[in-house]
Structure formats: structure tokens, C-alpha cells
Amino acid sequence: MKATIITIGDEILIGQIVDTNSSYIAKALDKIGIATHEMISISDDKTHILETFEKLQNKVDVVLVTGGLGPTKDDITKKTFCEYFEDTLVENEAILLHVKGIIEGFYKRPITQINKEQALVPTKAKVLFNQVGTAPGMWMEKENTVFISLPGVPYEMKYLVDNEVVPALATKFERPYIVHQTIMTYGRGESLIAEEIEEWEDNLPPFIRLAYLPSPGKVRLRLTARGTNHELLLAEMKKQVEMLDLLIHDIIVGYNEDEPIEVVLGRLLTEDNLTLSTAESCTGGKIASLLTEVPGSSKYFKGSVVSYASQAKVDVLHISEEILEKYSVVSAEITEAMALSVQQMMKTDFAIATTGNAGPNKGDSDAEIGTVFIAIATPNGVFSQEFNFGQPREKVIDRAVSKALELIYKEILKK
């Protein structure tokens, strides 16, 4: 049961936008046991698309195409589908009404010719109705391959994948069992972990594979088991994860790949009815924005003071000028003072504070580029740690954010 995901668009091939759709689709397919064999990005060129379709015809069971369904002239997927399936476009009444509704109701303007054309679909296509946008999805079959076309706008694509594509594929195809288990670890490097679990890894059964997914400050370990006996897969996976936990218990923060640390943290805080605030300098509000991306975060996250300028540390966080002069803005003392101050201002149980120099140039302090201080204020006091996250700027900020989340997470676990 194999699928190929195709994303269409010159903007992808010149690197102007990053393709996030393929990843979302692959994850959804994987959950129902459909393996993505390849992801391919190709240009808005009809010949190129047709050649690719022909290569895949009868080689894979499903071809999912995103992009090229928008309202504008550079969208050619629909015409290409017509040519490949020797079909013609007809106006779909239901879609036309829907498009009218969105344009006239939501955008409060009359429908344009270009909008009208979105209601055209190939006669042989099964329409995948797009409730959240104006571009319809299409399902067409040729011999042993299903070709599915979806709009490129991420939330429209997601809506159709979740509500139309996945249910339809799950009904049409018999699928093998795939069991994944991700182990989220924080604060230790890939190669060190590999050394520690080498013997365990060497003794994994052949139907279970391990992958390392390193990113700044954290490594995800992913186990994948494939087979026909679902119970066996689940049992063996459970056993292997328990063995692994014995080896690296100290760095494991969670087991759900859909649960980054900010989500796990949010659940802990909600359960224990605890609250959190942040005072951010070098991370510039990124910790706050990550925390608030989690639905329901208003239960435990009260807010943040982004004191990017030194003066803001005085004016908003009431750090005294003296201690700012005595210690540098990038110092343990100032970071701890910031954490205590925001904890008090926001009336929260815990607070995180960051200061540092992310580069490329030195800022208000003469701290080395890459230097970051992270302070954690708890109901019992405050502590801080110094780090050097190297370069470049993006890496320093990202590592500071994940390290801060790791420190607060471990602190809250202690309670």
C-alpha cells in the first residue's frame, strides 16, 4: 500500500516557499497504514506533471497532488487532470453556490469571473467538497492508481485530508499495521545517546526500526514496527520502550510525537493548577508565542514582558539601574532579577527569564556571541544557568527557547 505525494509550484522549486503540505499529508497517511514512498516537488509545467503521472501510474496505489488549484492563471493542475484523464471541465452547481457564499458573504463583494471558474471540475472527477475555501478537491481513478488533487493553501488542504481523503482511502484499501513510538529527549546530543543505547539498538527485532531526529537542544527517537499481527507489534513496542526508558530515563520528557514539550508542559501546569509567565530578552517573545500556540494555554500562561532593550528592563521590569550597571545586562544576576520581577508582576507560580547575545553583533553587553542566561523562578526561589549556544542567531534563539522549556519542565516535574 504505497502513496506518492506531489507538490506543484515553481515557487517551491526556486525555494521561495517551504512545502509543509507533504509532511501533513504523509503523517495522515501513515496513521492509517499507508506508506509514503516518495515526495516529489515539480514545476507548474503541464508536460512535467503529465510525465510524472505516467511514471507513477500503476506503480503506486495513490498519488496525492497539492497546489495549482487557486483562482489565478498560474494554476494548471485542473487542466492537466483533464488532459491526463481525457476529460473536460463542467460547472458544478453546488461548488458555484458555495464560492458565491464565501465571496459575497465573507468578503462582501460581488463574485468575479475568476471566482466562477473555480466551480469547474472534470466530468469524471468525484468532487471533494472544500467547506473552508473556494478551490474544490478532486478524486479520479485510472487503472490501479487513485489520483487526488487538493488545494495548496495549507488549512484548506488539511480540511480536505482530514474530512474527505483519509476516510475515503481507509474505506477503499486494505492496509498493513504500522506502529510508531516516538521518545522525546531533551538536553543530550545524538551521538552520546547512540553510545548509551547501542547494545539495546543492536538487539532490536528486525521488524522494528529506530531513527534519530536531532534538533537544537533535543533529540527525538522514533521506533517504527511493521507487520500483520497488530497485538505482537504493540506488545514488542511496549517492551522495547520500557527497556529504553531504563537506559535514558533522565532525558526522556514524553512519548507523544504530537506533543512537543510546550504541550506536555501545558498539561502538567493545568493538572496541578499552576501558572507561568516569562521575561524575555534574547528570545524576544518566542517562548511566549510558542506557549500561546497551544489551545487552552490561557489557563496557565499569564503573559510575558519582552524587555528587549536594557531600558525596558528598568522601566517595565523595575530592575534598578545600579544592579544593571554593576552586573552586565547579560548576567545571572539580571536574568534572575527579571524572572522574580515578572513572576511578581504577573502573579504566577513560576517564571522563565532569558538574556543573552544571539549575534550577529554584540548588543548592549560585551558578552560573547552565543552566550545565554536562563533563569527559573519557582514558589521557593530562583536559579539560573549560563550557556553558550554558538552561532548563528537563529540557532542561538531556538536552543535558548528549548533549553528554557526543558528547565521549567524539569522544575515542575519536581513538584
Grid cell of 132 as nine digits? 473552508
Asked if 311 touches a second copy (CB under 8 A), the answer is yes
Residues 257 and 263: their CA atoms lie apart, in Å, by 11
Q: Which three cell numbers stand for residue 303?
A: 503573559
The stretch near a second copy (CB under 8 A) out of 7-15, 57-65, 82-90, 121-129 is: 7-15
- Provide, rounded to whole angstroms, the least separation between the CB of residue 266 and a second copy: 13
> Under the criterion CB under 8 A, does residue 224 sit at the interface with a second copy?
yes
In the complex with a second copy, the residue whose CB is nearer, 76 or 89, is: 76
Contact between 71 and a second copy per CB under 8 A: yes
Report the residue from 286, 369, 377, 405 that binds a second copy according to the rule CB under 8 A.
Answer: 286
Q: Which stretch binds a second copy (CB under 8 A): 16-24, 79-87, 88-96, 240-248?
A: 16-24
Query: Could you tell me which stretch among 70-78, 167-175, 238-246, 372-380 binds a second copy (CB under 8 A)?
Result: 70-78
Judge whether 54 and 63 are in contact, CB under 8 Å: no
| End-to-end CA gap in the chain | 47
CB of 318 to a second copy, least distance (A): 11
In sequence order, what are the residues at sequence separation of 6 or more whose Cβ sits closer than 8 angstroms to the Cβ of residue 363?
329, 357
Other residues' Cβ atoms within 10 Å of the Cβ of residue 351: 28
| Residue 203 buriedness (CB in 10 A; 0-12 / 13-18 / 19+) | exposed
Q: Site residues for a second copy, window 234-253 (CB under 8 A)?
A: none
Q: Is 278 helix (H, G, I), strand (E, B) or coil?
A: strand
- The nearer residue to a second copy, 126 or 129, going by C-beta atoms, is 129
Stretch that binds a second copy, among 84-92, 163-171, 308-316, 405-413 (CB under 8 A): 308-316
Q: Residue from 141, 259, 364, 411 that binds a second copy (CB under 8 A)?
A: 364
Residue 105 contacts a second copy per CB under 8 A: no
Cis peptide upstream of residue 295 (ω within 30 degrees of 0): no
Q: 137 or 359, CB closer to a second copy? A: 359
Pairing of strands 177-186, 208-215: unpaired
What is the total count of residues that contact a second copy (CB under 8 A)? 112
Cα dihedral 340→342→345→347 (10° resolution): -80
From 90, 97, 192, 235, residue interacting with a second copy (rule: CB under 8 A): 192
Residue among 65, 160, 183, 287 that touches a second copy (CB under 8 A): 287
Say whether residue 9 binds a second copy (CB under 8 A): yes
Query: Where are the extended beta strands (E) located within 256-380?
Result: 276-280, 301-306, 350-356, 371-378
Q: Does 355 bind a second copy (CB under 8 A)?
A: no
Among 60, 63, 153, 408, binds a second copy (CB under 8 A): 153
3-state secondary structure of 45: coil
Residue 138 C-alpha cell reads as 478532486
CA distance 82 to 62: 18
Interaction of residue 168 with a second copy, rule CB under 8 A: no
